[in-house]
Each structure stands twice: as structure tokens, then as C-alpha cells.
Amino acid sequence: MSAEGAELIPVAEREAELTLSDGVRLRSHLWYPRHGGPWPALLMRQPYGRAIASTVTYAHPRWWAEQGYLVVVQDVRGQGDSEGRFGGFGQEASDTAETHAWVRALPECNGLLGCYGFSYQGVTQLLAPDDAPPPECLAPAMAGLDERQHWCSEGGAHWWHLGLGWGLQLAALQARRKGDEEAWLTLRRSLEQGSYLREGRTLLERHDPDGMACRWFQQDPLTPDAWTVHTAPLTWLQRPMLLLGGWWDPHLLGILDLWQRSTAAGGDPELHIGPASHLQWWPQSQRLMLHFFDRHLKLSTDTPTSAASPRFWDLTRHEWQESLCATQHSWRLQGDGLTSIDPESGTLKAQEPGQGTVTIVHDPWRPVPAIGGHLSPDPGPAERSAIDQRADVATFTGGEVGQPVQLQGQPVLTLDASADQPGFDLCVALSRIPRGSSQVQQLSTGVLRVTGEPALLCSQRRIPLQPLLATLHPGDRLRLSIAGAAWPAVGVNPGTPEVASGPPGSRHRVVTMTLELAGSHLSLIPFDSGRVITD
């Protein structure tokens, strides 16, 4: 392109390199307005190649530059074109601090710095030495600090589809860095053909044995002390922070945890939970982030600097809501021998005690599939009437509500349960049946894994579900569904500690589960309670 033609493009860009104190060089790409400056900087540190710049969810850096920002997208240590060995979250604290100082000193930067990014890029914003100067503002999305609870497991069960898929993506990136075309093709084909669900762990152990995902699968989610919980400096948690989450994002509990941590540290975080999965966000999210950065990096005088009230998207009203009603709701389960045969047999009662015994037989040859929600291969809204008609799914349906009922917070199911084998799963879904309809619109899901001899004992089990905000309209009914599997969201429980959970195998056992409903109840923990239940 001629010099004259380049001048007509409003955004300039260039490559840049930072040499860290240990001699490792990190590569970045910069975008900035062609004229004027210097500008406040927006920094994203990510492991997927800086050219992508997370455009799967964010506007391209050129758009951000057109809004008056220097945008810096950096390949983290050991990824993309940056030197060093990739070690995952644990490497990021010191690299983040050095990168911040470097960005502030760039000739295109006016010294003000904001951070943005989701998932891994959300964590890189938060990890730094305790004495590191904080950025002016942060906007982590779809992320959390607890590797066990926010990144790879739920209810004691590994995220199967998600954990393997992400781990193999990182392994393929490493294969490309090494120039190993054969390994890259092997990993890619496993994802394209779906064979990763069966052979994924073997591929990780062969091609990325030191990677985070491989390590996570080797750790037991039922032993929390063995897991890493990262910490963010107190001064960083006190900075202006925009937190974005989605009802169908697997890291939602991580975002809610950050909200609580920042508030407890004296911060004033701005929280938005919208109709989003991990990779599909609501269209207005870009303008929301731009408004946040303009307030804190351009020091606009026409907008307030204090955080807006938390905003939650109502899944059934399809609108945003700020003020939430903290009304407590609770239901009891009633069922009998037909509850797994007739979808209308089991009931949810608000005023009557739980009663009855329900038997569910889990056959590993045909495990109940996971659909929609936050962990399945097709996250988001789902219509599950066909699933609920299976004879290995117990359903409990409430009566028609006479007036609007708002469900807000985290659903938690408590009931007594046991099995005839030393291992079983309770996979739970909460749904809405609209007035006059046969559809079953899934709202939230959760899972609990029980292993070993305790599975044989009838004991109280507590199953937390994904938080939600939804409104039942007059004539709607609420439904709770319970199954013994949610494949491939979580690996199939083999019914014995002698066999690893995962894809169905010849050594998997048929498991008969018994649910005693006398003390059962389904309740909601409101968002304003300050609690998020994970175990």
C-alpha cells in the first residue's frame, strides 16, 4: 500500500517486543489512532495467538483504536511467538506486572491502563505480585480464580467435553510451535470427529503431559486441598472493575466469586450477567465495555464514575433487571414407582412435605445426554421434553402458578439418596413449562458425584445448580428432573472406584439409585445473600 493510501486508514499498527527480567521476550501487536495521541491503553494478554485478539467475542482491536485507545494484544509466555515455556496460570503474575510497566512507558500510551479479556485472558488481568501497581480499571469476563471450582469440575465431576476440548486446543497450539504437523492433525481430527470424548485423555498425556488440562484430569475434584486457588492483590480488587458473565457460561460461579471478593475488599464492581454462553455474547456488550473504559480512562465529565447497579437478564421475560426481590422459595418432592415412567407422576409442592420413594436405573450403554445449559456441547437454551420422557429420568412438576413468581439466585436440591453400587451421579435440571404448552424449557442444571462406599449408604445429598434469574408467568409450571448421567458434559460414573469415569465402557456397571423424598426440598439462595455454593 502506498504512503498516501495508508494515511487514509484511521488506525495504525505495529509489532512490539518486551524483554522480561529473566531474558524471555514476549511479542505483542499494537493498534492505535493514526493521528494524535498519546492514548490510554487497553491490554489483553492471551495464549491463542495475538492476531486472533479474542475476536470470537470482542470487536476487533481496530474498532477499539478508532474509539481513541492504544490496544495491546500480547502472546503470553510460551504461546504464539513469545519465548519461554508455557506453564498456565501460575506463570502470569510476574509477567503481568512487567508487562503493565512496559505498556505504560510505550510512546503511544499516555500512562493510563485498562485491561480486558475473557476466559484465560480474564485471569491474566487479576494475577500480579501483591505490591504491583494496579491498572486504572479491569474488565475480566467469564473467568474465576479457583482452578477446581471455576475451571474444570462441578459437584465432584470433571467437566468432560469442555476440559478435553480446551486441553486439546492448547496441545495443538504447542504442536504447531514445535512444527509437529502430524500431532496437530491428530489432535484436530479428534475434535472434528468427536473421538476426543473417548481418546482425549490419552492424547493429552501423549502430546501435552505437563499442560494444565492434563494435570486437572489427574487430580480428584473431591479432594479440594490438592487444588490451586489463585489470589488477586487487594489493591487490584479495589480498582474499578467491570465483570461480565453469562447464564450459560461454565465460569459463572467464578465471576460471582470475583464480585463478592471485590466487594469484600472495599471495591465497587459493576456486574452484568446476560444471555450468554462462553463464546456467544449479547450484542450490547461491546458498547457496555466501551462506556466503562471511557468513564475510567478518559475521565469523561458527563458520566458518573461510580459503578452502576448489578444487572441480570431475566431468562423468561427477556429483559434486564437491576433491583431483585429477595423472596425465599422452597418446594418439596413427592413421587412413587411411576415417577420415572410418567412425566406427570412426580410433583413439586410448596406447602406439603416431601414423600415417597423413587427408583432410577442408570444404564451406561445409553447414558442420559446433556443438552443446553452451561456444560454441554450445545450450550444455551434447550427444550428437554424428549429427555424427560425417558424412563431413566425422574420428573417432579409443580402446579400452575397463579401470579408471577421470580426465581432468582442459586437453586439447591437436597434429598436422601443411595445406590446399589459404590458410585453414582445425580444430574439435575430445573425447567419451565409455559402455560398451555408441552414444551419443557430448561433453565438451570447441576450435578453431584458420589463415589466409593458412601454411595451405598442412604445419606443426605446436596446438589447446587447453575444460578439463574427467570420469571414464571401465570399458568406456567416448574419442573425438576433427575437422572444418573449428563453425557458428555461430565464423564459417565462407572459405578465402581476401580474404573475411571469417562465414556461408557465394558466395565461400567448398571446402577440402581434410590431417592427417599421425605426430607427433600428445592430452595433458592438469593444473590444478595453473598453466598455461592459449589460443593
- Let me know whether 43 and 100 are in one domain: yes
Q: For position 44, which CATH number holds?
A: 3.40.50.1820
Question: Among residues 481, 473, 462, which one has the least CA distance to residue 519?
Answer: 462
Assign 39 a pLDDT band (cuts: 50, 70, 90): very high
The residue range of the domain holding 204 is 157-220
Q: Evaluate whether residue 494 is within a structural domain.
A: yes
Higher-confidence residue of 100 and 327: namely 100
CA 376 vs. chain centroid, Å, equals 12
Residues 204 and 271 in one domain: no
Total count of domains within the chain: 3
Which ranges of 298-394 does DSSP label H, i.e. alpha helix?
385-388
- Of the chain, the percentage scoring pLDDT greater than 70 comes to 95
| pLDDT for the residue 454 | 97
- 204, 220, 236 - which closes a domain: 220
Please indicate, yes or no, whether residues 253 and 206 belong to a single structural domain of this protein: no
Say if residue 393 is in the same domain as residue 275.
Answer: no
Give the tens place of pLDDT for each residue, 131-151. 999 999 999 999 999 999 999
Report the pLDDT averaged over residues 199-213: 97
N-terminal to C-terminal alpha carbon distance within the chain: 58
Q: Quick: pLDDT tens for 369-391.
A: 999 999 999 999 999 999 999 99
Spatial contact of 98 and 202, defined as CB atoms under 8 Å apart: no
The Cβ of residue 287 has, within 10 Å, a number of other Cβ atoms equal to 10
Domain end point (choices 252, 274, 308): 308
Query: Is a pLDDT exceeding 60 seen at residue 1?
Result: no
Report d(CA 179, CA 8) in Å as an integer.
38
Q: Domain check: are 301 and 368 in the same one? A: no
In a domain, 206, yes or no: yes
Domain boundary among 174, 200, 220: 220
167 shares its domain with 63: no
Residue 129, preceding bond cis, omega within 30 degrees? no
The reported pTM is 0.95
Q: Cell for 81?
A: 511467538
Does residue 137 lie within any of the structural domains?
A: yes
| 534 occurs within a structural domain | no
In a domain, 460, yes or no: yes
Do residues 90 and 213 both lie within one domain?
no
Q: Does residue 175 share a domain with residue 72?
A: no
Characterize the bridge pairing of strands 423-433 and 153-154. Answer: unpaired
Q: Are residues 351 and 273 both part of a single domain?
A: no
Is there a single domain that holds both residue 145 and residue 215? no
Say if residue 415 is in the same domain as residue 504: yes
Band (353; pLDDT cuts 50, 70, 90):
very high
Q: Domain for residue 436, yes or no?
A: yes
Locate 236 and state its grid cell.
487490584
Packing angle of the helix pair 196-207, 181-193 (nearest 10 deg): 160
